[in-house]
Amino acid sequence: MRILYIGDSHIRSMIDGAVATPAPAGIEEVFFGAAVPQLADNVFSVENQHLIPSSPKVREMFKYTGGSETIDLKSFDACVLVSWCSSVMFVFQLIGRRVFHLPKRLFSLEQKNSQLLSDTVYREYLQQGIENFWKLHPLIKEHINGEILVLQRPIKAEAQSVSPAAQQTEVTRLKRELYSDLCEEYETVIRNAGARFVQQPAETLTEQLETKREFCLGSVHLFGNDPHEEEEVFHMNKDYGSTCLREIRSIVGAGGR
């Protein structure tokens, strides 16, 4: 079985995770990654079942990470779109703005100046979170022999010190309910498109719905081996990548080691 991974800079944790936790015998994993600014300006096309980036920089990055400038889609038995579905960062933004309304429920905290989020605006948030999925999935779904998975972008890691406000039980409850609703929405939309949504592994998250710091420390940039700054909270390390890989291998039937 050959598993194709396509992603942005967050794919680096999985590249390193694959080195730390090799796939079982008979499984080959190939990783193609490119930086977000270049992907934003890029347009993909498919010719002769090859995925072709329009951007010379993206082609160069694909060559660096995956060994070729284009991707022979028909040679893979499954595909994982890494970070092609947004994280839940807007959940934190909504809470920070005291906006607590979702279509299914009305949430309330005892705060002044709370606002309601209309269904229309909420749907816009949702669509923004998966707009990259819609750019790529329709192009590749006809050419991948097996399942297509969409791995959520990781939630930012906890800071070196957690503020008392972040530990408030009511805020944590609100975050979790919002997160649950959002993931449910993503799962439905992506399933209806013929793919499968994969949430961030639960064991990587704190009670306050942040990625545990241990999964962030020592993360490195997509290219080269330079580590991120010590204060980095958005990119994860090889341990996080290994955890995600075990989850994905289990889903596609490859098992873990």
Q: In this predicted model, what pLDDT tens digit does every residue of 19-35 receive, in sequence order?
A: 999 999 989 999 999 99
How much is the pLDDT for 165? Answer: 54
Query: What does the block give as tokens for 225?
Result: 């081996």
Residue 98 — left, alpha, or beta (φ > 0 → left; ψ -120 to 50 → alpha)? left
| Residue 81 scores a pLDDT above 70 | yes
| Residue 47 scores a pLDDT above 80 | yes
Q: Where are the domains of the chain?
A: 2-87+130-161+181-251
pTM of the complete model: 0.87
Mean pLDDT to the nearest integer, 153-176: 73
| Residue 164 scores a pLDDT above 60 | no
Instruction: Looking at the structure, give the CATH architecture of the domain made up of residues 2-87+130-161+181-251.
Output: 3-Layer(aba) Sandwich (3.40)
The more confident residue out of 47 and 40 is: 47
| Residue 226 scores a pLDDT above 60 | yes
Q: State the amino acid at position 160 in one-letter form.
A: Q
Q: How many residues are recorded in the chain?
A: 257
The more confident residue out of 95 and 217 is: 217
CB 149 within 8 A of CB 248: yes
